[in-house]
Structure 1
């Protein structure tokens, strides 16, 4: 079973609705925040999230729990 399938199964078991997205290499998300918490799981490639507490690099199988209101930007890996 793939990382994505495992993540979807676990999220749904907890009553969450997983959503997938992807971007090309070096795509940059500008700084922003959400009024809700976000649990981010990298299923392929890599992405670095830039937060006030420092950078967090995610690769396949890694995850990041962002509390509501946390400012962050992100850069997709090569």
Structure 2
């Protein structure tokens, strides 16, 4: 994985993980997660973070739009590793979204 390339890791188990399971996965990596959520259709304008972001979708869906035009749709259990400084926006799916996020 290049340090400047966003990576999506799809949840490949037929059983969707619950929030506690995802918190435990993050804790095993030494990540301190926090929870956030948004309503259906909410959007985030293009921005970047001064830290490496690790995000898991707990419920619902969200699509990240990268500056290069790439769209990354995440659903329950999917993980996004977003390197420092990557410009992105986002749009929440039709059922809203609940995520766990941590800085690495």
- Provide the TM-score with structure 1 as the length reference: 0.91
Q: Per the alignment, in what secondary structure is the counterpart of residue 60 of structure 2?
A: coil
Counterparts of 1:54-73 in structure 2 under 5 Å?
Answer: 54-73=70-89
What count of residue pairs does the alignment treat as equivalent? 78
Counterparts of 1:1-78 in structure 2 under 5 Å?
Answer: 2-53=17-68, 54-78=70-94
Q: 5+ unaligned residues in a row in structure 2: which ranges? A: 1-15, 95-104
Counterpart Cα distance in 1 of 2:17 and 2:32: 18
Shift of 1:2: 4.2
Runs of 4+ in 1 over 6 A off after TM superposition: none
Counterpart Cα distance in 2 of 1:57 and 1:2: 17
**Higher RCO (CA-CA < 8 Å; seq separation 6+):** 2
Normalized per residue, which structure has more helix? 1
What per-residue deviation string (whole Å, max 9, x for no partner) do you get for residues 52-76 of structure 1? Answer: 3400001111111100000110000
Counterpart Cα distance in 1 of 2:59 and 2:86: 24
Counterpart Cα distance in 2 of 1:40 and 1:14: 13
Counterpart Cα distance in 2 of 1:59 and 1:2: 11
Normalized per residue, which structure has more strand? 2
